[in-house]
Structure 1
Amino acid sequence: MKRSIAIPLLVLCAATAVAGEKGKAADTIHADKNKMEGKAPSDADLIASAMKAAPASVAKGATVVAMDGNGMRTLRKGSNGFSCMPDNPATPGPDPMCMDANAMAWIQAYMDHKDPAVGKVGFMYMLAGGTDASNTDPYATKPEAGNHWIKTGPHVMVVGADAAFYDTYPKSPDPDTSQPYVMWAGTKYQHLMAPVH
């Protein structure tokens, strides 16, 4: 995908996302309260959390999956090829995500510390934002000197593209997160981060 095609796609996704923002603040407060109180969310809570990741038109037809002690568990079967995951209760902020099949395979490779398929472009929504993360170390768990911890608000991601695609975007370890940039540049998990304003 050339940059001239990618930017209009990202703008379109951002416009769609803004339309689905109403009511998310109250839901986020409820989810954060459950985290603080240590309550295990119900399947209905997990599905509601997962659906915050993408525009309603995508989320309503998506499969919803969640991680548990036995691996990935399907909470709701979908029909549109997207899979949504709820917020991770172990992280400090909301971070549900929703992705197409290629992005789901990319995430699985990342979780398994394996090489993702090259050239299988995937698209991912994180419209509730993402928990703060290192921009240089894919497996960093907390801010440390030199690991370039960043704050990410609502965004979409393009994963699995050829290296040449990522070469057209900024790759600074300390990026301007209000603009599209490459996260984990130079690693096998580099991907485009595009904020949704």
Structure 2
Amino acid sequence: MQTPDLKTRFTIAAALLVAIGCAQAAGAKTPSDAQMIASAMHAAPARVAKDATIVAAGADGKMRTLRQGKNAFTCMPDNPTTPGPDPMCMDQNGLAWANALMAHEHPPAGKLGVMYMLAGGTDASNTDPYAQKPASGNHWIKTGPHLMIVGADAAFYAGYPNAADPDTGVPYVMWAGTPYEHLMVPVK
């Protein structure tokens, strides 16, 4: 099993460092490794999570492996600065897609990926991948537990709803028409 490359680890670490720094500034305690592992394992089905690599950003901003895995999945714990659960778990192609999103780059072509957020996710804009909070016209939605299919060609999404304000209880295309469009599949 390959672990994420240095660039990917750095990008994830930078995003998580900001979250941890905000939580610390607000007086929140940094979760223990055991708490972060437990949080990350809620992201995916138990049979996936039990053998996944678990990573988290340290207080120094460096990505660290909390637990080395034995499969192709990498899981990250909840973001302590958001109101809802955010743990996620992704395969290597999903990790490459997420890295591209965070770096504002086009995702790698021809790499279909799977991402789990079985604990749900923080609410987000359905039209703007970089929106930070609800605003007029950015179509803020609530997402419950879901699976994401990322990195597919546009033809894959044909036939799925892609409205700005979708019914989040059925599969739909999030961020339609952007390089980061992906299929959201609710699981509850």
Query: What TM-score do you get using the length of structure 1 for normalisation?
Result: 0.80
Pair 151,79 (structure 1): closer, same or farther in 2 beyond 3 Å: same
Q: Report sequence identity in percent.
A: 69
What secondary structure does 1:187 align onto? Answer: coil
- Residue number in structure 2 paired with 1:111: 102
Aligned letter for 2:141? I
- Residue number in structure 2 paired with 1:25: none
- Residue number in structure 1 paired with 2:46: 56
**Distance apart, 1:168 and its partner CA:** 2.5
**Distance apart, 1:71 and its partner CA:** 4.3
- Residue number in structure 1 paired with 2:169: 178
Aligned letter for 1:89? P
For structure 1, which runs of at least 5 residues remain unmatched after alignment? 1-33
Counterpart Cα distance in 2 of 1:168 and 1:100:
25
Counterpart Cα distance in 2 of 1:78 and 1:194:
26
Q: Summarize deviations over 1:145-190 as a string: whole Å, max 9, x none.
A: 1000000000000000011101221100000000000000000000
- Residue number in structure 2 paired with 1:42: 32
Aligned letter for 2:51? G
Shifted more, 35-44 versus 157-166: the winner is 35-44
Shifted more, 149-158 versus 107-116: the winner is 107-116
Aligned letter for 1:73? R
What secondary structure does 2:48 align onto? Answer: helix
Question: Size of the alignment, in residue pairs?
Answer: 164
Counterpart Cα distance in 1 of 2:97 and 2:51:
21
2:61 aligned to which of 63, 67, 70: 70
Counterpart Cα distance in 1 of 2:64 and 2:109:
27
What secondary structure does 1:136 align onto? Answer: coil
Counterpart Cα distance in 2 of 1:73 and 1:164:
37
Counterpart Cα distance in 2 of 1:118 and 1:167:
18
What secondary structure does 1:144 align onto? Answer: coil
**Is residue 178 of structure 2 the alignment partner of residue 148 of structure 1?**
no
Aligned letter for 2:138? N
1:123 aligned to which of 97, 114, 121: 114
Pair 37,196 (structure 1): closer, same or farther in 2 beyond 3 Å: farther
Query: What TM-score do you get using the length of structure 2 for normalisation?
Result: 0.83
**Distance apart, 1:110 and its partner CA:** 0.7
Aligned letter for 2:112? V
What root-mean-square deviation, in Å, do the aligned CA atoms of Structure 1 and Structure 2 show?
A: 1.6
Aligned letter for 1:152? T
